[in-house]
Amino acid sequence: MAHSKVPERTSGDTKVYSYLAEYPTPQALIEACKAVRDAGYKKWDAYSPFPVHGIDPAMGIRPTILPWIVLGAGLTGMLLGLVMQIGLNAFDYPWIISGKPLWSVPAFVPVAFETTILLSALTTFGGCLVLNNLPDLYHPLFKKKRFAKATDDKFFISIESDDKLFDEQKTKSLLERTHPTALETVEDDRKVNSALPRPIVYGLLIATFLSFVPMARIAQARYTKTTDPRFNLVSNMDYQEKYKSQRGTSFFADKRTMRPPIPGTVAQDTLALDDRYSRGVEPGTNDKFISDFPPQFSVNAGAMQRGRERFEIYCAPCHGLAGYGDGMVARRAEELAEGTWVAPTSLHEPRLANEPLGYFYNVISNGVRNMPGYASQVTEEDRWLIVLYLRALQRSQAGSVDDVPADQRGALR
């Protein structure tokens, strides 16, 4: 090798890195390891193409502390998972999910479990690397042709010159006594070769620098205003190829995506020819509400029962089971006190007692002021049933002793 190319390599006398002994079988390796271990060496290692049973005690390797590190990481992961969820769900953005309390430990367990596993696994992986001094980009043993066999069918021991007991003569004779098939001196050329190649260093520096750019862009976007449209990384997520209501299209002649019904079509079951039954008004009028049930509707105990069920399903959440406007939704809204809430009307307001039946039918069908209509959910038949029950409910709050049959009045009080 020419002096001018790699001057450091031959300048001065080369240091010995280690003695490398080669063995033909794992058994021979184990025996040799025992000899080196008993001689008291500390800085040495055995190399084999596959894990050899019993090598740990033969080399005198003490158990690793990795399990303890992993245990700590696992517990940290669990704690982090719990704190994150409790912080987010119970304090930062309190949100009741599925009717559970804000602090619901069972709901937090799966995530805490995952973070436990995640941190344990990553720590095991990272810990293995760090405890084994990896990644190690260069090792003097790589210079030895023979050493390549350590990945194939030969077994090696290398005693390093850094060891306190290392002595050129004694160490050599110790290894000779273990019957190696070859014994070599390994030179220490790490000074020359262990430095990272320049291009990689520059590459890493530039990459590190560039990695700040996206962050900076995000930070900038957060604190500045712009009239430009949003920056789209995955644009077909925002602009999907499909028709949405109120959008235009070039496909149809009238350029509307929402298709009007073909003239003359009548949807099934909604012919609504009978104004009394379907709209609750006198035929041909719009606001003359009927005050009796329409003739095709019959009042009986079964009707009352179903009317009650429908009321408790569709109305009670807001108006309350007894109709005083204190349903679960109303109470919750009041608790939140957000100021935009209009309380559901009490159905026992005197004004409502005098409204005709058709009026209530109309409220259920089309809603009133802030209350939405329920025509899409509740059939016409069921709307009349609700009206029936609602009337009964109103009457029930205006009862007196006279309502009780004479022969049962004695049982009162």
Partner 1 sequence: MNGPTLVELPKDNYSFGAAGKRLTTIGAVVGVLALSGAAAMGAAADDHLGRFLHAYLLAFYYVLTVALGCLFFVGIQYLFRAGWSVTVRRLAELGAGTLPALAILALPIIVATAMGNHTLYTWTDHEVVKQSHLLEHKAPYLNLNFFLVRCVAYFGIWALLSWFFLSRSTKQDASGDPKLTRSMEIVSGPATILFALTLTFASIDLIMSLAPTWFSTMIGVYFFAGAATSSLSFLILFAMALQKSGRMVNVLNTEHYHDLGKLLFGFTFFWSYVCFSQFMLIWYANIPEETEFYLHRFQGPWLAFSWFLLLGHWAFPMAGLLSRHVKRNRKALAFFAVWLLVMHYVDIAWYVLPTVGGHDAHGIPFGPMEVLCWVGMIGVFLAVVGFLGSRRSLVPLKDPRVTEALQFENI
Using CB under 6 A, list all residues that contact ligand HEC: 314-315, 317-319, 329, 342, 344-345, 347, 352, 360, 363-364, 368-371, 374, 386, 390
Contacts of 141-148 with CB under 8 Å at 24 or more apart are 141/17, 141/18, 141/20, 141/47, 141/186, 143/186, 143/187, 143/189, 144/20, 144/184, 144/186, 146/20, 146/22, 146/182, 146/184, 147/20, 147/47
Please report how close the Cβ of residue 305 comes to ligand HEC at its closest, in angstroms.
17
Question: Quick one: tokens of 266?
Answer: 């009548």
Planar angle of CA 214, 220, 221, nearest 5 degrees: 90
Q: Which of 110, 126, 197, 372 binds partner 1 (CB under 8 A)?
A: 110
Please report how close the Cβ of residue 367 comes to ligand HEC at its closest, in angstroms.
8
Residue 110: contacted member of partner 1, ligand HEC, none (CB under 5 to 8 Å, by partner type):
partner 1
Spatial distance between the Cα atoms of 173 and 113, rounded to a whole number of angstroms: 55
Binding residues with partner 1: total (CB under 8 A):
14
The amino acid sitting at 315 is C
Please report how close the Cβ of residue 322 comes to partner 1 at its closest, in angstroms.
24
For residue 16, give the 3-state DSSP assignment.
Answer: strand
For partner 1, give the closer residue by CB, 50 or 209. Answer: 50
Quick check: 152 binds partner 1 (CB under 8 A)?
no
Residue 109: contacted member of partner 1, ligand HEC, none (CB under 5 to 8 Å, by partner type):
partner 1
For ligand HEC, give the closer residue by CB, 3 or 369. Answer: 369
Quick check: 75 binds partner 1 (CB under 8 A)?
no
CA nearest neighbour of 159 among 41, 2, 318, 333 = 41
Quick check: 54 binds partner 1 (CB under 8 A)?
yes
Residue 357: contacted member of partner 1, ligand HEC, none (CB under 5 to 8 Å, by partner type):
none
Count other Cβ atoms within 10 Å, centred on residue 309.
14
For ligand HEC, give the closer residue by CB, 75 or 343. Answer: 343
Please report how close the Cβ of residue 282 comes to ligand HEC at its closest, in angstroms.
19
The enclosing H or E element of 46 equals strand 44-47
The amino acid sitting at 150 is A
For ligand HEC, give the closer residue by CB, 20 or 330. Answer: 330
For partner 1, give the closer residue by CB, 150 or 290. Answer: 150
Whole-number Cα distances in Å, 359 to 44, 267, 272: 96, 25, 17
Quick check: 67 binds partner 1 (CB under 8 A)?
yes
Residues 6+ apart with CB under 8 A from 170: none
Quick check: 71 binds partner 1 (CB under 8 A)?
yes
Task: Kindly identify the residues of this chain, within the stretch 14-53, that bind partner 1 according to CB under 8 A.
Answer: 25, 51, 53
Whole-number Cα distances in Å, 84 to 88, 89, 93, 112: 6, 8, 12, 9
Count other Cβ atoms within 10 Å, centred on residue 389.
22
Binding residues for partner 1 (CB under 8 A): 25, 51, 53-54, 56, 67, 71, 98-100, 106-107, 109-110
